[in-house]
Amino acid sequence: MEASFRRFAMRRTMNDTGLALIKTFESLRLAAYQDSVGVWTIGYGHTLGVHADMTMTLAGANQALADDLHGMETAVDAAIGTTATSDNQFAAMVSLCFNIGTWNFRWSSRAELSPHR
Q: Report the mean per-residue pLDDT for the chain.
A: 86
Would you state the pLDDT for residue 14?
A: 92
Residue 41: count other Cβ atoms within 10 Å of its Cβ: 19
Sketch out the chain's domains with CATH numbers. 14-112 (1.10.530.40)
- Give the whole-angstrom CA distance, residue 116 versus residue 72: 16
Q: Where are the alpha helices (DSSP H) in 1-117?
A: 16-26, 58-80, 87-100, 102-106, 109-112
Q: Which tens digit of pLDDT belongs to each residue from 37-83?
A: 999 999 999 999 999 999 999 999 999 999 999 999 999 988 888 88
Q: Which range, of 8-12, 40-44, 49-53, 92-96, averages the lowest pLDDT?
A: 8-12
Would you state the pLDDT for residue 1?
A: 42
Higher pLDDT, 4 or 17: 17
Active site positions, annotated: 26
